[in-house]
Amino acid sequence: MKILDISRELFASQVYPGDTIPSRVARAEMDKDGYRLSDVTLCAHNGTHVDAPSHFVPDGQDVSQIALEKCMGEVVVLPCKENITEKMLLPILLKYKPERILFKGSGYLTEEAARVLVKAKIQLVGTELLSIGHAEFSKPVHEILLGAEVVVIENLDLSAVAPGKYLLVALPLKWGRVEGAPCRAVLLPCNIL
């Protein structure tokens, strides 16, 4: 079975402006101590990561409270080179009736498209970009999705993935009281079930 790793390597990944740059400090080294031990400093939103509702929603779920069922299951990978609008989404939602969508390319989600996804009861949405919404629209797009407890995955690497249906596994680290966490996201062939 072929597994497609769609996560970015944490230390080589681009960092959202203003976020902490991840770093590693060696606490023990093989040649000196006979084993390796590292401390890692990072922002909860470095690399490929999941946003929890508490990222933008007062009293929203933290990342440890996300229903893991939302992070696993059939997903549709869609190409997008421009911002994603309601008009673009409606035919896709009618054709595939997806519960999870990953956007491959440089298109940001618009507020209207976020509302359409919520209305369609999408459980998870992901993007290759550092944020699901562009600049001044980032906050409202996050509020719409996270307010409806839609799982958001950002900073995916879909460069080697063809558009189509897959099985997704993207489990965030179990961090209580934290609004996001890195995840290892993979795609599997849809026909393994």
Q: According to the model, what pLDDT value does residue 136 have?
A: 86
Measured in degrees and rounded to the nearest 5, phi and psi for residue 189 equal -60, 145
- Residues 14-65: pLDDT tens digits? 999 999 999 999 999 999 999 999 999 999 999 999 999 999 999 999 999 9
Q: What are the distances in angstroms from CA 40 to CA 22, 31, 168, 173, 182? A: 7, 20, 27, 14, 13
Q: Which residues of 62-78 are buried (b: 16+ CB within 10 A; e: fewer)?
A: bbeebeeebbbbebbbb
**The domain over range 4-8+44-192 is classified in CATH as 3.50.30.50:** yes
**pLDDT tens digits for 89-138?**
999 999 999 999 999 999 999 999 999 999 999 999 999 999 999 998 99
Q: Please determine, for residue 2, whether its predicted confidence score (pLDDT) is greater than 70.
A: yes
Q: What is the pLDDT of residue 192?
A: 58
> Per residue in 66-94, pLDDT tens?
999 999 999 999 999 999 999 999 999 99
Is residue 145 within 8 A of residue 152, CB to CB? The reply is yes
